[in-house]
Every structure is written in C-alpha cells, then in structure tokens.
Amino acid sequence: MPLLALVLIVASPLSTCSAWEALSFRGIPANGVTFGQDGLSIRVQRSAGPLVWPLPSPLRVGRLRVSGAVTGQLNTTPDRQGSKGADDFVLRVGLVEAGVTRPSFVQRRLAPAWVGRLFALASPGQGIDKIRFFNLGLHDSQMGWQRDHPLSALMTEQVVAVPDADGRFAFDVDTGGIQTLAIWLSADGDDTQSSFTVRVERLELAP
C-alpha cells in the first residue's frame, strides 16, 4: 500500500483523507481529490487548490522524497511556465516552514482564506516563515530554476524534477533542514486552462 511516511514520527496511508484538508481559492474552481490503494490523486480541470496536512508536531526535514505519475499535460511551454498567464505546475510539494512572522490584525481581516489557514498552522506564540515549494517542471532545461514567487512573499519555489515520457516521476531532494509545520500540495491548471491528473504514490520526509 502506498504510504506517506513521516520518518520517526508517523506513517499515514495515502488511501485515506482523514489527515488532509482541501482548500480552495476564491473565484477558481476546486480540484477533485480521491484517495485509493494506488495513492492520492488530484484531478485538475481548469482548476486549482491546495491540500494541507498539518504535522502532529514540527519536524526538521532534511530530505524530501516523492514519486507518482501524471496523466495529461499543461497547455504551456517550458519557457513560459511560471510567467503571468502560465503560472501552473502539475505538482508543487510544499514544506511550511516555522518562523517568527505573524499577521497583523488588519492582515488577518484582509488576507485571502488560504493565507489565514497558513498562519493558523503555527502554534500560539509561533509564526511561519514561508512555504518552500519543490516543483515538477515540463523539460530538463528547467532543472535548477528557482524564485521567490512574485505574487506572494510567503512562497519560494524551485523545479526539482520532470516527469518521464510515460508520466512517471520521482525525486529525492536535500532540503537543507527545514523546520516543517505542514505539507502543502498544489496542482494548478486554471491559468493555462489545462486538464490533467497527478497521482502521489509516495511522499516521505526524512531528517
């Protein structure tokens, strides 16, 4: 059975939704999510939205290992991916990093719901730094691409893998040791009007 294994902390099967919380973005259709014996599947139909798993307790993550498969593709090209009108990735695997930033009263009132949920992942008196995303790109030429997201200071991202011709993917990334509060999975096709399915069969965090 595919497992989402938090090494030395907890092991949870991807075949159950009990640990995960599906969020949505205002004005954007939500993704479809299913849990089965072959893993967690996200069905994107010109839609977007994250899945969040708050960890039982903060965990310093030194390595991130993920594998699965993609069926379908994005309606964009490697040189345009990430730009305005093409800011879609078939999979972003995010580690929510603990920090000291807390929203002000005004920010709490005006921020989008997903930002409020992000800060709510921190314990009382604790804050967050940002979500550090590890993405699947479209072509080998994108490997190593990274940026601070232009639309939010709360996100950084880098391309760490590209699916094979048959859609299979796997990566094992040295994260440098991120004090992690939650896993944040995103799959997006709203910008590019794309439809595809991404299945996560294994997601492992190691010290």
Domain coordinates in residue numbering, the chain:
3-206
pLDDT at 129: 93
3-class SS at 96?
strand
Residue 23 zone, left/alpha/beta (φ > 0; ψ -120 to 50; rest) = beta
How many Å apart are CA 96 and CA 183, to the nearest integer? 6
Predicted structure pTM score: 0.89
Architecture of domain 3-206: Sandwich (2.60)
pLDDT at 107: 63
- Tell me the backbone φ, ψ of residue 117, rounded to 5 degrees: -65, -35
Average confidence score pLDDT of the chain: 88
pLDDT per position as a tens digit, 10-19: 344 455 567 8
